[in-house]
Amino acid sequence: MQALSNSRRLHRFLKSSILLNSDRFNASDVRIVEALRSSLQWRNHSSFSSETPFLSGFIRGSHSQLAQCAMFTMTLSRATFSSEAGAVEVEGNPTEAVKELYDKIYQSVVVKRTMAPNAWLWSLIENCNNHDDIKLLFNTLDNLRRFRLSNLRISSNFNENLCREVTKACARVGALDLGKKTLWKHNVYGLTPNIASAHHLLSYAKSHSDAKLMEEIMILLKNNDLPLQPGTADIVLSICYNTDNWPLMNKYAKKFVKSGVKLRQTAFDVWMEFASNIGDVESIWKTEKLRSESMKHQTLASGFSCAKAFLLECKPEEAAAVIQALNQDLPEAKRSSIAVELQKLVSEWPVEVIKRQKEENKKELASSLQADIPAMISALSNMGLEASVKMEDLIGKEGIPS
């Protein structure tokens, strides 16, 4: 039993030595210590099978063996530490500037055990130009986090501004796998997840029309308890619009409203314009009701969406009244845009909305619009709003069945 107790003491000593010096051990060091552990386990097993002179000697020499193992681990640690003082081995093809900054920070916090100047880290972030650069950045963050914890006794994460800049660098070079890690509530890099960081990744998804990436980011926001913001809605809904995905638009627009996010006018504009393009009158009026509860005045996009809803309901006079009211509410500088939007309503919107209807409904809708749009223009003229619109764009337009 004493042999078992001694072997356990030695095992605990080796284990603590490994933990104390874990950041200095390489793979070969671990294999050596594992060999010692295996030897101890073999000897422990032998103690139960039979008593031997060797076992007796082991019991008597347990204290000296502990001392020898202590000397071994200390020597091994010093040897490993010395090897780290040389150049750091780096995989991949990082840029020279990033590699140099990484080496300087590594030598400071890992080898010399002194805090590196903040300017080095900020410079490293700014100089990241490829995926391998970002990998070195994350390795650096891990080293700095451990140094702060073990040497400075700082357990808190880095500030949110650093997290934003790291995420921005990830988006800049397309290192999305690492960028998404900045949104993890529990991470080993000391990063503080925040919604502003998520916006950098969402903006990347928007610029690349990547709805799949957008959905992945939204899942991360939910799983890591990051609050949705009006800016989040702006980016997400515009991605849905750009990728022509109405079900996704409806899904996330409702999610934002249910979460209590106060949508901006830009979000309402995109939502209502998409609904008018697919001919969803019910969605237009529901969205307009939500919009009117939080803001008084219409924009060109929301006003013309309402006018299109009236045209889809075969109410050209009401459509004209909306446009007339919009013309009166808009500042003088923006009233010239009314004519531009009217021309789009005549020449572009009918084709767009008709092509999205079921085949059996296309001809009926085309006939209705060809009658109601001229009636709306005529009503506008009677109200004193003269608009130079090319009506021939409505008749015989390709894509409009006759």
> How many residues are listed for the chain in this entry?
402
Mean of pLDDT over the chain: 82
Looking at 26-30, 170-174, 268-272, 322-326, which range is the least confident one?
A: 26-30
pLDDT higher than threshold 50 for residue 26? no
The pLDDT tens digits of the residues spanning 289-342 come to 999 999 988 999 999 999 999 999 999 999 999 999 998 888 887 888 898 999
pLDDT higher than threshold 80 for residue 55? no
- Give the helix ranges, DSSP H, for 50-115: 53-60, 62-84, 96-106
pLDDT higher than threshold 60 for residue 120? yes
Query: What is the average per-residue pLDDT within 160-179?
Result: 97
Quick one: which H or E segment has residue 270? Answer: helix 265-278
pTM of the shown model: 0.76
The pLDDT tens digits of the residues spanning 238-297 come to 999 999 999 999 999 999 999 999 999 999 999 999 999 999 999 999 999 999 999 988
pLDDT higher than threshold 90 for residue 85? no
The pLDDT tens digits of the residues spanning 334-392 come to 888 898 999 999 999 999 999 999 999 999 999 999 999 999 999 999 998 877 777 76
pLDDT at 35: 43
Nearest to 229 by CA among 276, 206, 197: 197
Distance of alpha carbon 119 from alpha carbon 21, whole angstroms? 28
pLDDT at 74: 42
pLDDT higher than threshold 60 for residue 22? no
- Characterize 226-262 residue by residue with b for buried, 16 or more Cβ atoms within 10 angstroms of its Cβ, and e for exposed: bebbebbbbbbbbbbbebebbebbbebbeebbeeebe
pLDDT higher than threshold 60 for residue 67? no
Looking at 63-77, 173-187, 193-207, 314-328, which range is the least confident one?
A: 63-77
